[in-house]
Amino acid sequence: MKSTPRFRGPSLILLATVSILLFVASLVAAFALRHGASYVTPFAPAKALRAFFTQSPTAVRVSSFFLFGSAIPFGIFAVTTVSRLRFMGVRAAGTNIALLGGLIATIALLLSGIVGWLLSVPEVLSSTPVVKATDYLNFLLGGVVYAVGFGLLAAGVSVTSYFMRLTPRWIVVLGMVVALAGELSSFSLIVYPANFFIPITRYAGFVWMLATAVALTRDRRSPGSAG
């Protein structure tokens, strides 16, 4: 009897779960280890930003560590998802778009973790303009660039999954919502209210990641394989 080909790769469910948990850990660390004032946004006055980071270097450092760490399983999730789609017979540009988006989002998270870590260094904190510029860069990488990349990942996977009927329609719709929010977040470079799309992309994206992982993991066999 001819053996049934099966997809060989890491668990999408495990990768999505680990990435999300590490991101949550970065939020918990930032909240639990901070001192003094509550969190301030990059749009706050420069002096308020400097005061916040100066009072909470440990919170910044540990939070950045977990954020950096979350990028690794996320990146593996992205490339494994693309690999699985191709294994399942997808031969469309959508997989390449998804791969591009996954790589953009992964690199953005890695750089955001590194740049955020700089905000715990005393020499950096000694200059108010440098703190302001660094925090803006951290926001752009971990917010705007990440959201745009995630949007491309969600769009590429969702469109191909729809035409190949690989995932339920509600997951496809959710993925397109995430994709639209991700691309609209780029308007944050022009108007402040567009920042609203960044958390939509991130948190709705977490739900989409888990749902997609479960849907694509149901059958590890390739299309047309013999039983």
What domain range includes position 34?
12-217
Please indicate, yes or no, if residue 19 is contained in any of the structural domains.
yes
Please indicate, yes or no, if residue 227 is contained in any of the structural domains.
no
**The predicted structure's pLDDT at residue 223:** 52
pLDDT tens per residue across span 50-75: 988 988 899 999 999 999 999 999 99
Please indicate, yes or no, if residue 136 is contained in any of the structural domains.
yes
**The predicted structure's pLDDT at residue 36:** 66
Please indicate, yes or no, if residue 224 is contained in any of the structural domains.
no
pLDDT tens per residue across span 80-127: 999 999 888 888 888 999 999 999 999 999 999 999 999 999 999 999
* Number of domains the chain is built from: 1
Arithmetic mean of pLDDT over the chain = 90
Residue whose tokens read 């440990």: 58
Please indicate, yes or no, if residue 83 is contained in any of the structural domains.
yes
**The predicted structure's pLDDT at residue 225:** 45
Other C-beta atoms closer than 10 Å to the C-beta of 39 total 12
Please indicate, yes or no, if residue 20 is contained in any of the structural domains.
yes
**The predicted structure's pLDDT at residue 33:** 86
- The answer to whether the predicted template modeling score (pTM) of the entire model surpasses 0.75 is yes
pLDDT tens per residue across span 133-171: 999 999 999 999 999 999 999 999 999 998 888 899 999
Please indicate, yes or no, if residue 47 is contained in any of the structural domains.
yes
Confidence bin at 224 (pLDDT 50/70/90): very low
198 close to 185: Cβ distance less than 8 angstroms:
yes
DSSP for the chain?
-PPPPB--S--HHHHHHHHHHHHHHHHHHHHHS--SS----TTS-HHHHHHHHHH-HHHHHHHHHHHHHHHHHHHHHHHHHHHHHHHTT--SHHHHHHHHHHHHHHHHHHHHHHHHHHTT-HHHHT-HHHHHHHHHHHHIIIIIIHHHHHHHHHHHHHHHHHHHT-S-HHHHHHHHHHHHHHHHGGGGGT-GGGGGHHHHHHHHHHHHHHHHHHHHHS--BPTT---
Nearest to 184 by CA among 132, 137, 147: 147
How large a percentage of the chain has pLDDT more than 90? 70
Average confidence (pLDDT) over 199-206: 96
Confidence bin at 77 (pLDDT 50/70/90): very high
